[in-house]
């Protein structure tokens, strides 16, 4: 599917078809958290100064823990790359330390090349899970880094690029992930489309349709296909947003889809409870990901991104990854139909 030059783009505008991805073989059991090989391949991803070291064991002031506005203007063409962001996001590459909480699990994460999906993929691998990620082919360079970090944790990595706006591809994606991983225990519907538009008169039908197909239809198709593979003890986690509860004027289509994700999560959790499958959602606030400079915010708003939260800064993907770990782990066995927020003190839930 091609796109007119005047049509707004987004972080997850998928381009169609199942293309050849990266498949990393199973390595040794989960022991290492990082390696010199992966560090060389991925670069100094998102770590500097006070951010170094295991995040779970060091007490820090959350206000000053990560960069604060003002940020430089940094427009990117869709889909945007984490490697081009300034400052570069911290996805937990050298800060997340696992403890085997997901040992032997098999996870599929959409939008796993960067941002929140990347942070979840790294955390899951550090916790002992094998991980398949879906992403845009144009995001291959970011995806390669994720594969290296997963492998450095001693887990199997499967990379499957493609267009989740296609029902046929969504079915292929789930089948391929389950086949290559040897099963499926965790599904994270994370990929999303967001593009700032100030007026409904400027919001095109093409963008409206693409936003719903990416954020809502794909979640439905992928989850439906995954039911053939998910069994007792499985976990489905959907990425919603605080805008489901406090919709901003410039994200009319995006906010609607995030509200739909909340309703989808709560309804599906009631269907699947008797099967022993839990369904929850995470509602992030402002997080520093390529979604923002590639059209999710205007460049003027980007310079002050996160400044209006009580903590005065945007969240880093590494800061929300533990929520995805908790919801995937047996520790949250009594949590289903819930929405977990992480928004720096602002928004709901």
Residue 86: how many other CB atoms lie within 10 Å: 10
Q: Catalytic positions, please?
A: 254
In this structure, what token pair is assigned to residue 286?
């402002």
Task: List strands edge to edge, sheet with 235-239.
Answer: 23-24, 157-161, 130-135, 106-110, 186-189, 235-239, 278-284, 339-342
Specify whether the CB–CB gap between 22 and 157 falls below 8 A. Answer: yes
Specify whether the CB–CB gap between 139 and 114 falls below 8 A. Answer: yes
Q: Tell me, what DSSP letter sits at residue 84? A: G
CA nearest neighbour of 139 among 130, 149, 147, 131: 147
Instruction: Tell how strand 157-161 and strand 23-24 pair up.
Output: antiparallel
User: Which residues have C-beta within 8 Å of that of residue 220, sequence separation ≥ 6?
Assistant: 264
């Amino acid at each position: 599917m091609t796109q007119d030059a005047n049509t707004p783009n987004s972080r997850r505008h998928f381009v169609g078809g199942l293309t050849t991805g990266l498949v990393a073989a199973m390595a040794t059991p989960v022991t290492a958290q990082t390696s010199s090989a992966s560090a060389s391949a991925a670069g100094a991803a998102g770590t500097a100064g006070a951010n170094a070291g295991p995040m779970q064991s060091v007490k820090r002031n959350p206000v000053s823990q990560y960069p604060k506005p003002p940020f430089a203007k940094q427009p990117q063409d869709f889909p945007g790359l984490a490697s081009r962001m300034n400052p570069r996001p911290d996805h937990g590459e050298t800060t997340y330390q696992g403890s085997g909480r997901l040992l032997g699990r098999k996870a599929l994460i959409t939008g796993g090349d960067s941002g929140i999906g990347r942070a979840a993929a790294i955390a899951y691998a550090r916790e002992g899970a094998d991980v398949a990620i879906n992403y845009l082919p144009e995001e291959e360079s970011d995806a390669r880094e994720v594969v290296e970090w997963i492998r450095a944790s001693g887990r199997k990595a499967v990379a499957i690029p493609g267009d989740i706006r296609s029902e046929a591809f969504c079915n292929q994606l789930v089948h391929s992930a389950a086949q290559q991983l040897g099963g499926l225990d965790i599904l994270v519907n994370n990929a999303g489309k967001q593009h700032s538009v100030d007026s409904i008169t400027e919001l095109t039908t093409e963008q409206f349709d693409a936003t719903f197909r990416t954020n809502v239809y794909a979640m439905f198709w992928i989850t439906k296909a995954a039911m053939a593979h998910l069994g007792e003890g499985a976990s489905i986690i959907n990425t919603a947003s605080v805008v489901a509860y406090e919709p901003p004027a410039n994200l009319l289509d995006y906010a609607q889809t995030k509200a739909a994700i909340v309703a989808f999560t709560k309804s599906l959790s009631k269907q699947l409870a008797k099967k022993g499958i839990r369904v929850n959602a995470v509602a992030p606030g402002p997080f520093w990901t390529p979604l923002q400079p590639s059209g999710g915010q205007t460049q003027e708003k980007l310079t002050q991104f996160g400044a209006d939260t009580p903590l005065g800064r945007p969240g880093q993907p590494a800061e929300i990854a533990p929520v995805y770990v908790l919801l995937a782990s047996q520790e949250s066995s009594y949590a289903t139909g819930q929405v977990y927020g992480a928004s720096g003190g602002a928004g709901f839930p």
